[in-house]
Amino acid sequence: MSDLDIPQDPAFAVHLNGSGGAIKGWVVVDSLYDGLAMGGTRMTTGVTEAEVAGLARDMTHKFTLAGLRIGGAKAGIVSDGSDREETFKTFGRTVKPLLHGGIHLGIDMGVTPADRAVFFQEAGYDPRFRLGAPDMPIDWRTYYEPLIDCTGHGVGVAAVTALEESGRTESARVVVQGFGAVGRAVARFLEDRGHVIVGVADVEGTISAERLPVADLVAITDEFGRIDRSRLPAEVRLDSGPDAWLDVDADLLILAAQKNALNAENVHRLRAYLVVEGGNLSSDAEAKEKARAAGATLVPGVIANIGGAASAALAVTRTVPFELAAEARKAWVFDWVGDRVRRNTRDLLEIAAASAGDPLPELLAIRREERR
Ligand SMILES: NC(=O)c1ccc[n+]([C@@H]2O[C@H](COP(=O)([O-])OP(=O)(O)OC[C@H]3O[C@@H](n4cnc5c(N)ncnc54)[C@H](O)[C@@H]3O)[C@@H](O)[C@H]2O)c1
């Protein structure tokens, strides 16, 4: 199948108005594979249908690249999170037919495991059971929650693979933008492998030093990824300027925060020769092109940050060997994700070396053929 055969429109998109209550939102099913699709649920005040559609397309790309036999979807709810119990009950009633019909909706920005439990319960949906599929022998949380660092693990594997492929053998100086679940796990992964974290940014600004001790920073970071400035180690520099993480002298930049963090306006400040996207849609198209033209290498999120989505899809498609004990099962999932990320990173860089444009469409076309 050639690239031109990919439909530009999603398989379907539905507006959510609410059942037994009012909500505003959308579910976009970008693609279906054997009647199945999945993706997270995002709840922010500014989420739009176009944003949900873009994220659903990214899910299709992630699963295609990973060789998972499931389509991409995403849900969005417009809300500031007040009265969340009622919002998620209404959401659960509204998306009940989708959940039971093979559209698995999980967690994304602004939605917690507790919120997911509310909408699963209200919909009477338990992903352990699906018509025509073997039952999962363990419940969803027992399976999924120990895998919290899986996304960071994959992003770390992408970074290490790209560093190796660059031929530079010395340890890299790394700046991590975003110190949430993903940023913290990547920082630990890279430090454990001998790289030096020289900068870390959260929503309040950028912290830098010749060497930042990751464990000490993690210890003073709250559940929202905010670092307590009153307890910082001595001799760190603080910069609250916009995008100050771009000014830190580093070889490798990990983007693990908001959408379009790297964009057409700030990309000229990029100092790192390698950028790995830990977040979704972390850089806009123009920034990607300009970074490439300036000689930097960029590994996109659809390759690097598949850990969370892939580990959920491995369960929904019943690919995981559930009979393994907890630790062995976790190691199996981490290895599976690491292997896919490594292979995709290597192949992307090989295509990039042979052509001037964006290498992703060619890699997607190859993986689409393989998955058929
Ligand atoms: N958690 C996952 O498994 C997963 C999987 C795939 C993609 N993602 C994406 O990765 C990104 C990070 O996810 P997370 O789970 O770590 O989120 P999180 O909410 O745990 O942490 C976000 C971090 O980014 C920081 N941040 C927010 N705005 C910022 C700004 N303007 N400048 C600098 N830092 C800023 C926050 O302070 C926090 O440290 C999101 O885009 C998310 O959608 C997450």
Angstrom distance (rounded) from CA 262 to CA 269? 10
Q: 299 phi and psi, to 5 degrees? A: -100, 115
Return the biggest CA–CA distance within the chain. 60
Q: Which atom, in ligand 1's list, is nearest to the CA of 258? A: 41
| Protein residue with its CA nearest to atom 30 in ligand 1 | 203
Q: Which atom, in ligand 1's list, is nearest to the CA of 206? A: 33
| Protein residue with its CA nearest to atom 17 in ligand 1 | 180
Q: Which atom, in ligand 1's list, is nearest to the CA of 245? A: 33
Q: Please tell me the predicted confidence (pLDDT) of residue 3.
A: 38
Question: Could you tell me the distance, in angstroms and rounded to a whole number, from the CA of residue 246 to the centre of ligand 1?
Answer: 17
Strand order in the sheet with 196-202: 237-239, 205-208, 196-202, 173-177, 252-255, 274-277, 297-299
* C-beta of 225 in contact with ligand 1 (< 6 A): yes
Using DSSP bridges, classify how beta strands 205-208 and 196-202 pair: parallel, antiparallel or unpaired: antiparallel
Q: Please tell me the predicted confidence (pLDDT) of residue 371.
A: 86
Question: Could you tell me the distance, in angstroms and rounded to a whole number, from the CA of residue 107 to the centre of ligand 1?
Answer: 13
* C-beta of 178 in contact with ligand 1 (< 6 A): yes
* C-beta of 59 in contact with ligand 1 (< 6 A): no
In this predicted model, what pLDDT tens digit does every residue of 127-138 receive, in sequence order? 999 988 999 999
Looking at the chain, the domain(s) classified CATH 3.40.50.720 span 150-307+338-371
Question: Could you tell me the distance, in angstroms and rounded to a whole number, from the CA of residue 365 to the centre of ligand 1?
Answer: 29
Quick one: 3-56+68-125 is in which CATH superfamily? Leucine Dehydrogenase, chain A, domain 1 (3.40.50.10860)
Looking at the chain, the domain(s) classified CATH 3.40.50.10860 span 3-56+68-125
Q: At 174, is the secondary structure helix, strand, or coil?
A: strand
What phi-psi label fits residue 20: left (phi over 0), alpha (psi between -120 and 50 degrees) or beta? left
Q: Which atom, in ligand 1's list, is nearest to the CA of 182? A: 16
* C-beta of 319 in contact with ligand 1 (< 6 A): no
Residue 48 and residue 259 in contact, taking contact as beta carbons nearer than 8 Å: no
Q: Which atom, in ligand 1's list, is nearest to the CA of 305? A: 6
* C-beta of 54 in contact with ligand 1 (< 6 A): no
* C-beta of 199 in contact with ligand 1 (< 6 A): no
Q: What residue ranges of the chain have pLDDT lower than 50?
A: 1-5
| Protein residue with its CA nearest to atom 9 in ligand 1 | 279
Residue 155 and residue 254 in contact, taking contact as beta carbons nearer than 8 Å: yes
Best of 107, 214, 255, 258 for a ligand 1 pocket test (most atoms within 8 Å of beta carbon) = 258
Give the CATH fold of the 150-307+338-371 domain. Rossmann fold (3.40.50)
In this predicted model, what pLDDT tens digit does every residue of 15-46 receive, in sequence order? 999 999 999 999 999 999 999 999 999 999 99
Best of 182, 255, 314 for a ligand 1 pocket test (most atoms within 8 Å of beta carbon) = 182
Pseudo-torsion of CA 40, 183, 357, 55, nearest 10°?
Answer: 10
Q: Please tell me the predicted confidence (pLDDT) of residue 1.
A: 36
The CA distances from residue 133 to 81, 204, 315, 316, in Å, are 35, 46, 11, 9
* C-beta of 359 in contact with ligand 1 (< 6 A): no
Question: What single letter denotes the amino acid at residue 176?
Answer: V
Q: Which helix (H) or strand (E) holds 253?
A: strand 252-255
* C-beta of 183 in contact with ligand 1 (< 6 A): yes
Pick from 157, 80, 84: nearest CA to 114 = 84
Q: What is the pTM of this model?
A: 0.94
* C-beta of 151 in contact with ligand 1 (< 6 A): yes
* C-beta of 81 in contact with ligand 1 (< 6 A): no
| Protein residue with its CA nearest to atom 22 in ligand 1 | 180
Angstrom distance (rounded) from CA 197 to CA 217? 11
Q: Which atom, in ligand 1's list, is nearest to the CA of 178? A: 24
Alpha helices for the chain (secondary structure H): 49-66, 84-94, 96-100, 113-123, 140-144, 150-165, 181-192, 214-219, 285-293, 301-304, 307-316, 326-354, 360-371
Question: Could you tell me the distance, in angstroms and rounded to a whole number, from the CA of residue 180 to the centre of ligand 1?
Answer: 5
